[in-house]
Structure 1
Amino acid sequence: LLHPGLDEKVLSFLKLPGVGADKNKAAKNGCTPLISASMNGHADAVRLLVEVGADKDKVETADGMSALHWAVCDGHLEAARILVEAGADRSIRDSHGDTALDLAMDSGHAGVLAADLAALFS
């Protein structure tokens, strides 16, 4: 299982042909490597995982939140931008019925990042 804190050389290994790591395998907490990278603001890991084909729209099991939900909820705009530019589904709703934009507004990060979030979600 991959983790977002891995050294860039190890993450770059995933780009090699024939490497069989499951980029979408969830840990016991229900988080995929992409979700973990997004919730921790590891934009470089998010970018690399997206490049090697990680599922941008997979949701974690506890709250039904996607990588995009976690990125905006925790104020990680660069990770969110990478996900949106890669085509992450902005309409996914978590187990409470909230989209990623709803969570950004509720978390207080929207005020600080209002212009960037408006551009990101337009």
Structure 2
Amino acid sequence: MKTIKSNFNAQGLVRIDSDDLKLEIKFESSQIYLNVISVNPRNLKTFFNLSDLRKLVIDVADKLAFWKFDLTVTWEGDELAYLGQHANPNILQKFIVAKNVEIKNLKGFAKLLGGRST
């Protein structure tokens, strides 16, 4: 199968509002901003285990990089991660996570996923 690369210029704002998850996704050219407004981590755990979530994040990050997009994930005013072509993970993150995923706030990620942040 042949893959065709194209350039996209996305603009706009999408809001997702459910009992378990509230998000804002803002598109500005090749930059995407994902703002997690609220989340019920107990219900998220029924959909994903951490291994599945890790695979999903890596897959999304690789696709974003391929299409020359970047995604910034924020929650409670903190930048948690960058995914995509301009992610700049440290050596340990490259080894443990992936080359297109930069974790900015590990405690924030753990808290978002329902873990403890001490």
Work out whether the TM-score is over 0.5: no
- Specify which structure has the higher proportion of strand: 2
More helix by share: 1
Q: Which has the larger radius of gyration?
A: 2
